[in-house]
């Protein structure tokens, strides 16, 4: 297996992030060290925190628990969205406004979900929003104006026991979604099944284009808990030009936190092209497609942002 070492790193002191997104020249990471804030905006060029925002609390424009974070582009402008699954609120910020006011600005959009909703992630695609969570179907399509439910689509993967109730199956299918910046396509990882799949937006729905499975899908259930038996597969994914990058673990879950040990490069037909061994404990990453760079959250043991350059890897082969 080929090796891929980081080409650089950032020395900025960050909290203990699990989410990372890039918009323009900034990286946004959660679990800020800044008192009372959830999100840090990291200035890549100056290797420093430019500002922190998203105040912790139960008040207006405050957050109890940020379950998903995303960035997207509209008319060449960047926007950042945050979903609080405890308050059931979805908020959108203009990155230009955040930069101008150093984080001291309100969201440009606030949307409240019904108290009975059980979503864990919400992302904007082209003309609608897509949600996942403790639901009967894998995806719920939400309207662009008020997050009203307009469609459901895609069945869950079934594990070694196909007669599980829908809530158990939804727990077993827990993972994370990675939309493209333009919202026309999306990657999905399912931790327990080691599955990486690509979806395409179609009208008011999404259609699976391909699926790549790295391991089996086995789990057991005791009382209300499920226990993974198959190896952990993909932990994160992203689009890099015409390719897809997956962060792969490949061993049985051994603790509360497991880290990626390989980068897998696939084409957009789902064919595995290359595997790269990495020597840092990566938890999540985001991609700068314009410069073929990967920014990864590493724990060695303290959190750090590492930079992987695809251009250097390709020249070395």
Q: What is the pLDDT of residues 40-65, one digit of tens each?
A: 999 999 999 999 999 999 999 999 99
Separation of alpha carbons 142 and 135, rounded Å? 13
Separation of alpha carbons 317 and 312, rounded Å? 9
- The pLDDT mean for the chain works out to 92
pLDDT at 93: 98
Contact 313, 4 (CB under 8 A): yes
Residue of 102, 103, 62, 52 whose CA lies nearest to 82: 62
Contact 271, 295 (CB under 8 A): no
In terms of pTM, does the model score above 0.85? yes
Q: Where are the alpha helices (DSSP H) in the chain?
A: 95-100, 166-172, 310-316
pLDDT tens string 233-248? 899 999 999 899 999 9
pLDDT at 210: 97
Task: At 18, list the tokens.
Answer: 């699990």
Separation of alpha carbons 276 and 57, rounded Å? 42
Contact 304, 9 (CB under 8 A): yes
Mean pLDDT for each consecutive 10-residue tract of the chain (317 residues)?
Answer: 94 96 97 94 98 97 97 95 97 98 97 95 95 95 92 86 76 93 94 91 94 85 81 91 92 68 94 94 95 95 94 66
Contact 294, 307 (CB under 8 A): yes
CATH of the domain at 304: 2.120.10.30
Number of H helices, E strands in the chain: 3, 26
Separation of alpha carbons 236 and 225, rounded Å? 24
- How many domains does one find in the chain? 1
Separation of alpha carbons 263 and 128, rounded Å? 31
Residue of 289, 283, 281 whose CA lies nearest to 310: 289
Which domain does 263 fall in, by range?
A: 2-316
pLDDT at 232: 78
pLDDT tens string 249-276? 877 666 556 789 999 999 989 999 999 9
């Amino acid at each position: 297996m080929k090796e891929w070492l980081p080409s650089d790193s950032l020395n900025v002191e960050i909290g203990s992030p699990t989410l990372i997104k890039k918009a323009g020249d900034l990286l946004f990471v959660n679990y800020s060290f800044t008192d009372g804030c959830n999100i840090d905006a990291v200035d890549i060029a100056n290797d420093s925190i430019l500002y922190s925002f998203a105040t912790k609390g139960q008040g207006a424009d405050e957050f109890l628990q940020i379950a998903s974070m995303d960035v997207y582009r509209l008319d060449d402008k960047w926007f950042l969205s945050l979903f609080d699954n405890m308050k059931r609120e979805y908020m959108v910020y203009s990155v230009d406004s955040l930069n101008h006011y150093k984080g001291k600005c309100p969201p440009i959009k606030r949307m409240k979900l019904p108290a009975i909703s059980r979503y864990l992630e919400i992302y904007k695609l082209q003309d609608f929003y897509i949600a996942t969570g403790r639901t009967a179907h894998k995806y719920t399509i939400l309207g662009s104006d008020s997050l009203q439910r307009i469609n459901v689509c895609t069945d869950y993967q079934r594990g070694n026991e196909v007669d599980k109730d829908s809530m158990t199956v939804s727990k077993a299918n827990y993972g994370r979604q990675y939309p493209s910046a333009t919202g026309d396509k999306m990657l999905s990882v399912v931790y327990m099944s080691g599955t990486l799949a690509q979806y395409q937006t179609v009208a008011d729905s999404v259609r699976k284009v391909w699926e790549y499975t790295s391991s089996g899908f086995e789990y057991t259930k005791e009382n209300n808990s499920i226990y993974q038996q198959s190896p952990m597969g993909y932990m994160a994914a992203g689009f890099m030009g015409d390719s897809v990058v997956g962060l792969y673990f490949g061993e049985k879950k051994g603790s509360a936190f497991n880290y990626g040990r390989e980068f897998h490069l696939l084409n957009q037909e789902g064919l595995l092209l290359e595997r790269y061994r990495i020597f840092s404990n990566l938890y999540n990453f985001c991609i700068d497609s314009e410069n073929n760079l990967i920014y990864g959250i590493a724990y060695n043991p303290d959190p750090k942002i590492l930079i992987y350059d695809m251009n250097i890897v390709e020249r070395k082969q």
